[in-house]
Structure 1
Amino acid sequence: MGEPPAKKAKLESGIWLPQSIETIDNKLRFDSTTYHSEIPQAIQESDEPVVLGVDEAGRGPVLGPMVYGISYCLASYQNELKKYGFADSKTLKDEKRQELFKAMENTNEELFKQVGWATTTMTAKDISSGMLQDVMGRGAYNLNEQAHDVTMELIRQTLNKGVKITKLFVDTVGPPATYQAKLRKWFPEIAEITVCKKADSIYPIVSAASVVAKVTRDLNLQWFTANLLHGANLGSGYPSDPNTSKWLNSHVDPVFGWCFGLIRFLWQTAKDSLERNKAVPVIYEAQCVKDSGYHDVSALFASKDEAFLNSYYGSGSVDL
């Protein structure tokens, strides 16, 4: 029968993959995905209040996904996270981040029994599709709105699983006060909501979410590097990374740009690279504005109103 896709992917890449990546059935479709861990034993067996933290990784890169992570535990356990070394993931070495995440997945470890977590991996394909301007519809779905919606959905899903969240700590996207008011409106059942800058450095439960998000994003990009791009040096994916810039500029197809769902085509770095390498200009359908000098002929079949039809053909009767 062969190996399940997730297991096969792990063997091909040669790297450890957390469940947030292993459980993606078809990685080459580049669809955004969500994964929830089991609800920890400590939470299932207690009526104590629960705290939940939210953080993201990969907001700025031109390559790869943006990952939102949440983690949650009993309020009485939050300070215990410090003894494991949880901190803002950017201040930790990669080995330490993976060590912490592995402990959260290992059924024999205390962290597995105490801390729950979840991620949503927003692919470059879906981020760019959302940001395309749709002049005839809802308009561009900007990155802040996408981030807010993903965060709220992760929280909602966790509440729906029966986790009684009493305190919520969120690393801000946009103005903290505005975002906090939005969350209070959507989650009146959560007694205390705090949105602030550098929350991952202040609240240990947000630090845990930061680790989950960062490791998921980094290993997601590493999997594609190993399995799709034959080990190419993509760098970190950030525009300022010379390895990222070098790869982008040396792999431009004049028609398709880059043939992968890894690229955020609407980032200025990608646009500049396409132009610099003389790629064929593209106008997306969603960006087209109908010429006001022409009428939409579909309206002729949608209405039998004589006055409406006369606006096209002048006075007189028209039989349909």
Structure 2
Amino acid sequence: MNSTIIGVDEAGRGPVIGPLVVSAVKIPNMDIKILEEIGVKDSKKINKVKRMKIFQSIINNCKKRKWKISRIICSASEIDREMRKSNLNQLEVKLFANAIEEIGFSKKIIHINVDACDVDEMRFGKNIKKVLGNRWNQTEIISKHKMDEIDLVTAAASIIAKVTRDSEIEKLNDSTDFEIGSGYPSDLITRNAVKKMIVDKYPHSELRWSWKTVKEEWVQTHNKPVPIRDELGKSIGQKSLDEWTK
């Protein structure tokens, strides 16, 4: 039996702007050497030009060698709605499970490697398995921090996720008359972009309204709490700062 491995990783957990992207990659165990040959490694350790080249090589091999990839793009509004009900770790558990399900179940899958987003590595893997359900009970999930530095299949998933998120940010850049930057709160260009994205009646749809950076900038500009998104993505005004801080 030609056994296969799935690797799963994300890009965009911390940014204040844009989506969170989760990707899964499935390849035959015998093809792992090809990932090494095309230069696959943790996406954070590759420059943009090389990352795009490797991304295209992965896509080409998907066509030639029947590898599979999946990409789940979770918008800023979806993140905000989920944060009202749970937390970022629980959201990522669902997104990782969705990415795995999109790849599809097979008895040939010997194990699934995931880059753990929870401080408790084992808990993250167990929670993904719970969401996946009984069909996946016999499939081992190996959950570790920095799995993209340990496993090439997970590193390939990290490249797919990173390139996909970067593409979404580029689209947003093209739709505005100012630079967005990386989307991370520590980025000065991004912080300046946030200021420009909160001047209207509601924050820009690509902002994560539940993030501290947006809340603080909104209060400074409007002297009232940032609106919140309801289940349909509509805005709900809050009456006072006291209500916001409860």
TM-score (norm 2): 0.84
Shift of 1:103: 2.1
Query: Structure 1 residues 166, 155: CA separation in 2 closer, same or farther (over 3 Å shift)?
Result: same
1:165 matches 2:112: no
Contact 1:159–1:165, Cα closer than 8 Å, also in 2: no
Contact 1:49–1:75, Cα closer than 8 Å, also in 2: yes
Q: Which residue of 2 aligns with 1:127?
A: 79
Provide the alpha-carbon RMSD of the alignment: 2.1
> What secondary structure is seen at the aligned counterpart in 2 of 1:277?
helix
Give the Cα separation in 1 of the matches to 2:37 and 2:227. Answer: 53
Percent identity between the two aligned chains: 28
TM-score (norm 1): 0.66
Count of matched residue pairs: 226
Q: Which residue of 1 aligns with 2:211?
A: 267
Give the Cα separation in 2 of the matches to 1:249 and 1:124. Answer: 17
The one-letter amino acid of 1:281's match is P
Moved over 4 A (4+): 282-288
Q: Which residue of 1 aligns with 2:240?
A: none
State the structure with more CA Rg.
Answer: 1
Query: Structure 1 residues 285, 204: CA separation in 2 closer, same or farther (over 3 Å shift)?
Result: closer
Shift of 1:279: 5.0
The one-letter amino acid of 2:64's match is K
Could you tell me which runs of 5 or more consecutive residues in structure 1 were left unpaired when the two chains were aligned: 1-46, 133-139, 289-320
Q: Which residue of 2 aligns with 1:194?
A: 142
| 1:66-111: CA deviation from partner (whole Å, max 9, x where unpaired) | 00011110011113311111111000011111111122333xxx45
Give the Cα separation in 2 of the matches to 1:208 and 1:64. Answer: 22
| 1:23-81: CA deviation from partner (whole Å, max 9, x where unpaired) | xxxxxxxxxxxxxxxxxxxxxxxx41110000000000000000001111001111331
The one-letter amino acid of 2:218's match is L
Q: Which residue of 2 aligns with 1:156?
A: 101
> What secondary structure is seen at the aligned counterpart in 2 of 1:150?
helix
The one-letter amino acid of 2:173's match is T
> What secondary structure is seen at the aligned counterpart in 2 of 1:55?
strand
| 1:236-269: CA deviation from partner (whole Å, max 9, x where unpaired) | 00000000011112342252133xx210000000
1:247 matches 2:199: no
1:73 matches 2:73: no
> What secondary structure is seen at the aligned counterpart in 1 of 2:137?
coil
The answer to which structure, 1 or 2, has the higher relative contact order (CA under 8 A, 6+ apart) is 2
